[in-house]
Chains A and B, each alone.
Chain A
Amino acid sequence: MIPLSWYMALAAILFAIGTYGFLIRRNIIIMMLSIELMLNAVNINMVAMSHYLDSLTGHVFTLFIITVAAAEAAIGLGLIIVLFRNKKSVYVDQINELKG
Chain B
Amino acid sequence: MLNQFAFLYCASVIIGTALLAVRFKNPVYSVLSVLVLFFHMGGLYLLLNAEFIAAVQVIVYAGAILVLYLFVLFLVSLKDEIKIDRFVNNRRLATAASVGFGICLLYIIPSFKLGAKGDFTVERITNLTHTKAMGFELYSTFLLPFEVAGLILLIAVIGGLVLARKEDEVQK
Which chain A residues have a beta carbon within 8 Å of chain B's beta carbons? Answer: 1-2, 4-10, 12-21, 23-27, 29-30, 32-34, 36-37, 40, 43-44, 47-49, 51-57, 59-60, 62-64, 66-75, 77-82, 84-85, 88, 90-93
If the complex has contacts A9-B109, A14-B18, are A73 and B53 also in contact, measured as CB distance less than 8 A? no
Q: Is the CB of A17 within 8 A of B56?
A: no
Give the number of residue pairs across the A-B interface with Cβ within 8 Å.
Answer: 231
Q: Is the CB of B138 within 8 A of A60?
A: yes
Chain B 40-55 interface residues, beta-carbon cutoff 8 Å to A: 41, 44-45, 47-50, 52-53
Q: Across the interface, name the chain B residue whose C-beta is closest to A28.
A: B76
A35 vs chain B, min Cβ distance (A)? 11
Q: Across the interface, name the chain A residue whose C-beta is closest to B85.
A: A26
**Which residues of B sit under 8 angstroms from A57, Cβ to Cβ?**
118, 137, 141
If the complex has contacts A53-B117, A54-B117, A82-B163, are A70 and B156 also in contact, measured as CB distance less than 8 A? yes
**Which residues of B sit under 8 angstroms from A5, Cβ to Cβ?**
109-110, 112
Chain B 56-78 interface residues, beta-carbon cutoff 8 Å to A: 56-57, 60-61, 64-65, 68-69, 72-73, 75-77
Could you list 24 A-B pairs, sorted by A, with CB under 8 Å? A2-B7, A6-B7, A6-B11, A12-B105, A15-B102, A17-B18, A20-B95, A21-B21, A23-B88, A29-B69, A36-B34, A36-B61, A40-B41, A47-B53, A51-B49, A54-B120, A55-B119, A56-B133, A57-B137, A63-B56, A66-B61, A81-B72, A84-B76, A88-B77
Chain B 147-172 per-residue mask, 1 if CB under 8 angstroms from chain A, else 0: 00100110111011011100100000
**Which of B18, B60, B88, B94 counts the most A-chain CB atoms under 10 A from its CB?**
B18
Chain B 81-101 per-residue mask, 1 if CB under 8 angstroms from chain A, else 0: 100111111010011011101
Q: Is the CB of B145 within 8 A of A64?
A: yes
Q: Across the interface, name the chain B residue whose C-beta is closest to A37.
A: B18
**Which residues of A sit under 8 angstroms from B11, Cβ to Cβ?**
6, 10
